Amino acid sequence: MTSENTLDDEDTFKILIATDIHLGYLEKDAVRGNDTFNTFDEILKCAKQNQVDFILLGGDLFHENKPSRRCLHSCISLLRKYCMGDTPILFDVLSDQAVNFSNSKFPWVNYQDENLNISIPVSFADGLCALDLLSSAGLVNHFGRSQSVERIEISPVLLQKGSTKLALYGIGSIPDERLYRMFVNNQVTMLRPKEDQDQWFNVFTIHQNRSKHGATNYIPEQFLDDFLDLVVWGHEHECLINPSRNEQRLFYVTQPGSSVATSLSPGEAVKKHIGLLRVKGRKMNLQKIPLHTVRQFFIQDLVLSEHPDLFNPDMPKVNQRVEAFCQEKVEAMIEEAERDRLGNPLTPEKPLIRLRVDYSGGFEAFNATRFSQKFVEQVANPKDVVHFIRQKEYKAKVKGEEDVDFGQLLSHSSTEGLRVEDLVKEYFQTAEKTVQLSLLTEQGMGKAVQEYVDKEEKDAIEELIRYQLEKTQRHLQQRGVLTEEEIDQEIRRFRESKKNTAEEDEEVQVALNRAKAHRIERGDAPEDLDLSDEPDVSMDSDEDSAPPPPTRGRGRGGRGRGQTTARRGRGAAEPKPAGQARSQKVNPTQGRSIMDAFQAPPKRPSRGAVAAKSYTDEITIDDDDSDDVSFVKPASRLTPASRPTQRASSSSSSSSRRGSQSQSQSYRGVTFDDDDDEV
């Protein structure tokens, strides 16, 4: 690919890619309030200047689930300014739009609406959120929402421009732990066209954790189907837009990152970009474009113990010395920001500055607020310029992703008995020693969780813990142990003696019977909720808290990272979702010492094989930061023996109702050859 002009022909898709716009972030801040709107304006202007076919946004258009009126007004104004006009649309939609946009009152792409004049369609994959207002107004095309939390079928939007065919897949944001379990149980299916499968370039947009935050609180790339060509990964804010090749699944992943820094962390300090993707046939070219309206962000780490020649804790007035040294560091970063901003009039004047000070080793922290106020006229974050931390105590390495055989994990099907208790057992096998069970067994806990999920037995886990605690107390009293060390050893022996025995099964059954008795006594009964108009997934925010376990996966799933669940109109009599109302009762020994925990408990009121990839592919990355130097990223050829085994596709009767969108669930692999000549 020698030049951009050779690509911009009647057979080439031009797509602007961006994720995590976070409109409205800190909109009330006097200095940073307009940052998100200015950058969104730059993104849309870039799309218009490059005459793209459409804009693909990968999640989090708004920062809040319920954006303010000012935020909505600004967003609508910008979309109308840049995306409406008389410019003709040069590609066609081949798929059944009633399937692609089934959740919309107007199930067709906006540029085909006779009442609208769209010049740049904006496509967006996410869950139920404020974005539906924009979709109803015809400003965006909202796809990727799932109507079920028990099984997901991803039906692609099929596009064609000239001889190039593009299949666009998307999935709205779902709590990571739930989606992880659904992938493991083969409950996620990606449909494919029946005809000419090898002729389609397949793009998948996903908005989930990519980095590992826990045993199941992320989505491994290996879970995705290997017929994909490019994955656009949203939710992660670090800009890693240069496509990286997954050598196991043989597709590329691009992570555009956010267009605004929503936290003062190192990942946010990476220069922000958007991508201009060109697709022609089975080849692609990705040009990364720097954003000039993004506020500068500089961050440094300072470890005081690494400067013994300057100060030590025993020096007189050491705090004053440390504060003066920190001031020099901050002033140096401000000067660097000023030099970097020269020649970029669109860049905001005041930068974001963060100095992280490690004061472990006997040092004391000075007044951070008073220190930060010295720079109130020079920085955009005068309240938190300096941040004190202590040296991290690194935990023992958890069994890493590289040690997990995802192929074997995905080889199980839901009909082969992979249940919640299997996932519980696997979690504790890979978890750190500090979170291992010491009183309960993995099998018992797994069965209790299974009842909690499948039958909505809200008291199953609590009753199991209480019953096991009472039984362990009686055992310790009979043994006559007194010291904490003896108690710990005896508990371990007692627990190990029950593993995989009939006694263990009996204990679980007793606890479940207790839970059922309590439910009947209260008059509660599991409900079957209709999800036809009430999906429980919505926009994802950036909080790191993990969602609570889902309850049955039928509209009662827990909320994670700012997600909301639609409520039904049952008034005050509606029971609270499991995992919320009883969150304070799960651990009866919380806040008590081990000796106190085994005293007599207070009395409580009684409650009763893959085909070889056969086509050639080329990826070219254009970097505007380096004078548009293009280069070809070599792709290694994998032998058939080294390719992972693709899980079998589950058959689906729903494909028969998709009209003109003739799709199937057969899979084929893809191989990127490195001996292909440039076009």
At 492-512, the pLDDT tens digits run: 787 777 766 667 777 777 877
Looking at the fold, whether 234 and 325 belong to one and the same domain comes out as no
What is the pLDDT, as a whole number, of residue 340? 94
Residue 640 CB neighbours (<10 A): 12
User: DSSP 3-state assignment of 485?
Assistant: helix
Q: How confident is the model at residue 523 (pLDDT cuts 50, 70, 90)?
A: low
144 within a domain of the structure (yes/no): yes
Rounded mean pLDDT, 434-442? 61
Q: Over 70: is that where the pLDDT of 347 sits? A: yes
Of residues 536, 410, 421, the one with CA closest to residue 128? 536
Rounded mean pLDDT, 347-376? 94
For residue 195, give the CATH number of its domain: 3.60.21.10
Rounded mean pLDDT, 221-230? 96
What is the pLDDT, as a whole number, of residue 420? 57
Task: Tell me the residue length of the chain.
Answer: 679
What is the pLDDT, as a whole number, of residue 574? 41
Between residues 394 and 328, which one has the greater pLDDT?
A: 328
188 within a domain of the structure (yes/no): yes
Work out whether strand 54-57 and strand 12-18 pair parallel, antiparallel, or are unpaired.
parallel
Rounded mean pLDDT, 143-164? 89
What is the pLDDT, as a whole number, of residue 451? 67
664 within a domain of the structure (yes/no): no
DSSP, res 264: -
- Interatomic CA distance for residues 156 and 191, integer angstroms: 7
543 within a domain of the structure (yes/no): no
Looking at the fold, whether 254 and 363 belong to one and the same domain comes out as no
Q: Report whether 644 contacts 222 (CB < 8 A).
A: yes
Q: How confident is the model at residue 561 (pLDDT cuts 50, 70, 90)?
A: very low
The set of residues, in sequence order, having a beta carbon less than 8 Å from that of 556 and lying 6+ positions away, is 456, 529, 536, 550, 565, 577, 578
What is the pLDDT, as a whole number, of residue 453? 62
DSSP, res 350: S
For the purposes of burial, counting CB atoms within 10 Å of the CB of 500, is it exposed (0-12), middle (13-18) or buried (19 or more)? exposed
Q: How confident is the model at residue 669 (pLDDT cuts 50, 70, 90)?
A: very low
Looking at the fold, whether 16 and 120 belong to one and the same domain comes out as yes
- Interatomic CA distance for residues 303 and 357, integer angstroms: 6
Rounded mean pLDDT, 406-425? 55
Q: What angle do CA 145, 273, 284 make, to 5 degrees?
A: 70
Looking at the fold, whether 277 and 368 belong to one and the same domain comes out as no
What is the pLDDT, as a whole number, of residue 131? 77
What is the pLDDT, as a whole number, of residue 443? 67
User: DSSP 3-state assignment of 339?
Assistant: helix
**pTM of the entire predicted model:** 0.64
What is the pLDDT, as a whole number, of residue 98? 86
Q: How confident is the model at residue 552 (pLDDT cuts 50, 70, 90)?
A: very low
Distance set, CA 553 to CA 5, 233, 454 (Å)? 50, 25, 8
Of residues 283, 318, 355, the one with CA closest to residue 633? 283
655 within a domain of the structure (yes/no): no
What is the pLDDT, as a whole number, of residue 431? 54
- Interatomic CA distance for residues 39 and 52, integer angstroms: 18
What is the pLDDT, as a whole number, of residue 448? 72
For helices 460-479 and 442-454, angle between their N-to-C axes, nearest 10 degrees: 160
Question: What digits encode the pLDDT tens for the residues 452-467?
Answer: 666 666 677 777 788 8
For residue 322, give the CATH number of its domain: 3.30.110.110
Distance set, CA 113 to CA 87, 93, 109 (Å)? 15, 13, 7
Of residues 360, 362, 384, 354, the one with CA closest to residue 372? 384
From 221-230, 235-244, 273-282, 413-422, the region with the lowest mean pLDDT: 413-422
569 within a domain of the structure (yes/no): no
* CA dihedral angle for residue 474, residue 478, residue 484, residue 490, rounded to 10 degrees: -90
Rounded mean pLDDT, 232-246? 96
Domain that holds residue 508: 436-522
Rounded mean pLDDT, 258-285? 96
What is the pLDDT, as a whole number, of residue 442? 65
350 within a domain of the structure (yes/no): yes
284 within a domain of the structure (yes/no): yes
Rounded mean pLDDT, 654-675? 39
Looking at the fold, whether 256 and 144 belong to one and the same domain comes out as yes
What is the pLDDT, as a whole number, of residue 85? 94
- Residue where a domain terminates, one of 240, 257, 290: 290
Dihedral sign of CA atoms 70, 72, 78, 81 in order: negative
Q: Report whether 46 contacts 16 (CB < 8 A).
A: yes
Residue 456 CB neighbours (<10 A): 21
* Mean pLDDT over the full length of the chain: 75
For the purposes of burial, counting CB atoms within 10 Å of the CB of 342, is it exposed (0-12), middle (13-18) or buried (19 or more)? exposed
Between residues 566 and 134, which one has the greater pLDDT?
A: 134
Q: What share of the chain is helix, strand, coil (3-state, %, to 5)?
A: 30, 15, 50
- Interatomic CA distance for residues 161 and 662, integer angstroms: 19
Between residues 620 and 486, which one has the greater pLDDT?
A: 486
489: tokens are 């050893």
What is the pLDDT, as a whole number, of residue 333? 98
For helices 35-49 and 69-83, angle between their N-to-C axes, nearest 10 degrees: 10
Of residues 229, 208, 185, the one with CA closest to residue 59? 208
Q: Over 70: is that where the pLDDT of 535 sits? A: no
Strands (E) across 32-74 are located at 54-57
Q: How confident is the model at residue 556 (pLDDT cuts 50, 70, 90)?
A: very low
Looking at the fold, whether 275 and 318 belong to one and the same domain comes out as no
Of residues 233, 179, 190, 180, the one with CA closest to residue 210? 233
Q: Is 488 left (phi over 0), alpha (psi -120 to 50) or beta?
A: alpha
Question: What digits encode the pLDDT tens for the residues 632-662?
Answer: 333 433 333 333 333 333 333 334 333 444 4
- Residue where a domain terminates, one of 494, 522, 550: 522
Rounded mean pLDDT, 571-592? 41
For the purposes of burial, counting CB atoms within 10 Å of the CB of 130, is it exposed (0-12), middle (13-18) or buried (19 or more)? buried
Beta bridge partners of 161: 164
Backbone angles phi, psi at 619, to 5 degrees: -120, 130
From 497-511, 566-580, 614-628, the region with the lowest mean pLDDT: 566-580
Looking at the fold, whether 212 and 347 belong to one and the same domain comes out as no
- Residue where a domain terminates, one of 321, 354, 389: 389
Q: Over 60: is that where the pLDDT of 196 sits? A: yes
Looking at the fold, whether 95 and 244 belong to one and the same domain comes out as yes
Looking at the fold, whether 350 and 454 belong to one and the same domain comes out as no
- Interatomic CA distance for residues 24 and 105, integer angstroms: 27
Looking at the fold, whether 231 and 83 belong to one and the same domain comes out as yes
Looking at the fold, whether 281 and 329 belong to one and the same domain comes out as no
User: DSSP 3-state assignment of 162?
Assistant: coil
354: tokens are 């963060």
What is the pLDDT, as a whole number, of residue 580? 41
Secondary structure element (H or E) that encloses residue 336, with its range = helix 318-341
Between residues 626 and 180, which one has the greater pLDDT?
A: 180
Q: Over 60: is that where the pLDDT of 222 sits? A: yes
Looking at the fold, whether 285 and 302 belong to one and the same domain comes out as no
What is the pLDDT, as a whole number, of residue 496? 75
- Interatomic CA distance for residues 141 and 57, integer angstroms: 10
Backbone angles phi, psi at 671, to 5 degrees: -125, 135
Work out whether strand 663-664 and strand 200-207 pair parallel, antiparallel, or are unpaired.
unpaired
Number of domains in the chain: 3
Rounded mean pLDDT, 541-549? 41
What is the pLDDT, as a whole number, of residue 123? 83
Of residues 613, 675, 643, the one with CA closest to residue 197? 613
